[in-house]
Each structure stands twice: as C-alpha cells, then as structure tokens.
Amino acid sequence: MSDFDKELVVNWLRNLTRLGIKLGLKNITELLARIGNPQRSFKTIHVAGSDGKGSTCAYLYSILRSAGIKAGLYSSPQIVDFNERISVDGKDISDDEFLLLAYEVMVVVESMKDEGYDCTFFESTTALAFLYFQRKGVECAVIEVGMGGRFDATNIIDPEVTVITNISKEHTQMLGNSISEIAIEKAGIIKPGVPVITCNSGPALDEISNIARSMKSELVVVDDVSLIDMCQTSSVMEYRGERYEVGIPGSYQATNAAMAIEASSRVRLYKDLVPHIKDGLKNTLWPGRMQKIDGLPLIVDVTHTKNGMAALSKDILEIYGKVTVVFGILSDKDIVGISECVAKMAEQVIVTEPDSDRAMKISEVSRVMGLRMDDVIVSDSVEVAIETALENMKGSAVLVTGSFRMAEGAMRWLKKRYVRY
C-alpha cells in the first residue's frame, strides 16, 4: 500500500472527528451487526479508568501471549502511527491489512448515513479492530475503553472480566464534575455476573461497589501491593506474598500489575493463565511510560493527569533526581494541579505546544508554570524544545511529558535523527 492510499483512508477516518464524540451504543450496535458482529468470535477483557489503563492492558496482553494464546490488543490513542492502536501477537496491523479493512468499514459507514446513522471516528476504528481480530483468529483480546465506559463504543462486548483502574477528574464536560459521577460512567462497563477488578477507594469505590452489587458481580479490590525496587527500565513488586518483576518502570505500575494478576486469574480459556503471569509481567513493553531512550539522557512519558503526574514526579526524583522538563498539555487538562507536580521534579521547564488542535496555548502554560518556579522558558515546537533541553540540560536528564502528543513529538524527533527509532 502506498503512503498516499493510507493517508486517504486515515483522512477519511479523521474527517469523522467533525462529528465529535457521541456517547451511546446505537451506531456501533448497527455497524457491527452489518459486518457480522465480529466481536462475538473471541473472548475479551475490558479495561476502563483514568490512570494506568494503557499499562494494565499491556500487562494483560503480555500475559496472554506468554501463555501461547492468540491475543489481540485494542488501545488508544497511538503515540505516532495509527496502526499502534490494533495489535495481534505483538505485531501492529500492517498497512495493507489496515487499508483492506478500512475500505470494508468505510463502505458500510457511508451506506448507513442515508438511514440517519453518523458513525464517529472511534466507532469506525472500533469496528475495524474487531473485524481484524476475527480475521486473524484471535482467541482473546484486551479492549481499552476510549472515554468513560457506559456509553463508550467498546461497551458492546461481553467480557470475561472487567478492570477499572484509578479514577481521577477528566473529561468533566462529558463524564461529570465529581469523582462519583465519573466513577458511575466508568463502572458502566460492569456486566451481570462478570468479575470486576479495581484499585479505587473512597467515593469511586463506593459507586463501583454499588453497581457491582446490583449486577451480582464479584468485586476484587487490589490492596497489599508493595514496591520492592525500581530502576530506569523495570520494577520489582510484591503482591499477596509473591514477588514479580515488572517490565515497565514506575511505582504506580505495581498496582496496575496487581490488577492484571487478578484479572488474568479469572479469564476462562482452554489454558490456565496463572502459571504465565510472572513471565508476562516481566516481558511487558509499553512505549511512552517512563521510557528511557537508549544512548541519550532522555525520558518520554505520556502522563496527562494530576494523579499521574504526581506519581511520575515522585519516581523521577527517586531514580534521576531533578531534571529538565519539556512540557505541554491539552486545553482540557488540569494545568494548575499538573504544574504543581511538574515543578517538584524540575530544575528547568521548557514550555511548548503539542501538535494538536486541542493544545493549551504556550502563553497560558508558561504563565501558570511561572507561578511555580523561576526557570521557565518557551519554545515554538516539541522538537526544538528537546534540542534546547539537551544542549542546555539542567539536572540529570530531560523528561518530555504532558500528553500523548508530546510523546509523539519526541518520537518523531528521534526518528529523524536516529534510524533505529
């Protein structure tokens, strides 16, 4: 497939974003019915939450693969290339396969418009992923919720187990202004009689517990998790008396891994996953999560919530000490709360603007950061900001963080300068 062909299809998909986000299952139900309900051909694990859901999905995917299960992973957003969203057995969907299936979905989506169905970008890509998993003979797929849970397009599945990672305030215009309201939306993925794994506490746990009880679903609350050791590339944690090496660094990864352990033990497959949990956790790879770039004093992290940044700040200080932070966020994020966490780990902050229509203006980010610390400078692009940071580094390393689009900018910069990336 030529780059031009792929660009046409991706642009068609992206043009669907003009429809915005439509929470509800009417469109996806009809779309999947018209392509044969491919989601019914494989088992699923459904993961919602605010912080750590991508990492938890990665652990589950790795455990399935370690057990020899034909495994799929559907996650979002990507860091660089759309193909990253859809993976089978550790390989992203190829350009040729993507184009073929996208055309199939496109024909159906366009035909549905005449009947009043306007499928969104996420609904269309979800259908594409399910169709791909069916064609590839996937036995079990890990499915990450796009937004919320109750009305998310992925909530069409009947999972073996559901996981709800840490909940924090996000997408408040769509999900509600309180933790309780957001928790109700995310707990909407709970199905009758299907086990629920969570790490939440307080108001979020109260809502999850109420819904799980009403559904007669087993509720497992992960606790008794201890971080034993942590380095630049991995962590060692203890859970319920067992030690596990975890392939993603970060103290917060211990809880994510513990949820994956509990979920794996409840998936009904022809193979028992439990004997393969340790290998799966150890071998997990997940870009953009405290990712140390080989040969450079550069770390890339997609963290974009206050809770996530607080945990990242703590871990960066423990492993690296203070660093230079290249920082930019999207306009719907908690700049006040996030900036407090950034300032704690930063010798210097270089503020820039991620490549997104939703990016918060440099002037606003620098104004708020300037209230927290003195050494704040601005840069017009992520790439220039990284080069400036590396040339004038204060502290032991450069950290690029604040959003997926910041991580994308870092990886594109690396690909231009270092072929192996």
User: How far is it, in rounded angstroms, from Cα 291 to Cα 319?
Assistant: 13
Residue after which a domain boundary falls, among 282, 303, 335: 282
User: How far is it, in rounded angstroms, from Cα 383 to Cα 214?
Assistant: 50
What pLDDT is stored for residue 2 in this prediction? 53
- Adjacent-strand bridge partners of 74: 86, 143
CATH number of domain containing 314:
3.90.190.20
Residues 278 and 301 in one domain: no
CATH number of domain containing 51:
3.40.1190.10
The answer to whether the CB of 124 falls within 8 A of the CB of 28 is no
What pLDDT is stored for residue 16 in this prediction? 79
Residue after which a domain boundary falls, among 282, 305, 321: 282
What pLDDT is stored for residue 3 in this prediction? 56
Residues 330 and 275 in one domain: no
Question: 372: which residues sit within 8 A by CB, 6+ positions away?
Answer: 339, 340, 342, 343
Residues 268 and 225 in one domain: yes
User: How far is it, in rounded angstroms, from Cα 352 to Cα 384?
Assistant: 9
Residues 256 and 329 in one domain: no
Domains in the chain, number = 2
User: How far is it, in rounded angstroms, from Cα 150 to Cα 164?
Assistant: 12
User: How far is it, in rounded angstroms, from Cα 50 to Cα 169?
Assistant: 8
Q: Judge residue 396's burial from the number of C-beta atoms within 10 Å of its C-beta, 0-12 exposed, 13-18 middle, 19 or more buried.
A: middle
Residue 183 structural domain: 3-282
Residue after which a domain boundary falls, among 282, 308, 329: 282
The answer to whether the CB of 269 falls within 8 A of the CB of 48 is no
Question: 33: which residues sit within 8 A by CB, 6+ positions away?
Answer: none
Tens-digit pLDDT profile for residues 29-46: 999 999 999 999 999 999
What pLDDT is stored for residue 1 in this prediction? 46
Which tokens in the block code for residue 311?
Answer: 């945990």
* Mean pLDDT in residue range 280-296: 95
Residues 267 and 123 in one domain: yes
Residues 42 and 73 in one domain: yes
Residues 192 and 124 in one domain: yes
Question: 267: which residues sit within 8 A by CB, 6+ positions away?
Answer: 43, 45, 140, 160, 161, 273
User: How far is it, in rounded angstroms, from Cα 99 to Cα 114?
Assistant: 24
Tens-digit pLDDT profile for residues 159-194: 999 999 999 877 666 787 899 999 999 999 999 999
What pLDDT is stored for residue 22 in this prediction? 63
Residues 275 and 299 in one domain: no
Residues 251 and 370 in one domain: no
The answer to whether the CB of 237 falls within 8 A of the CB of 226 is yes
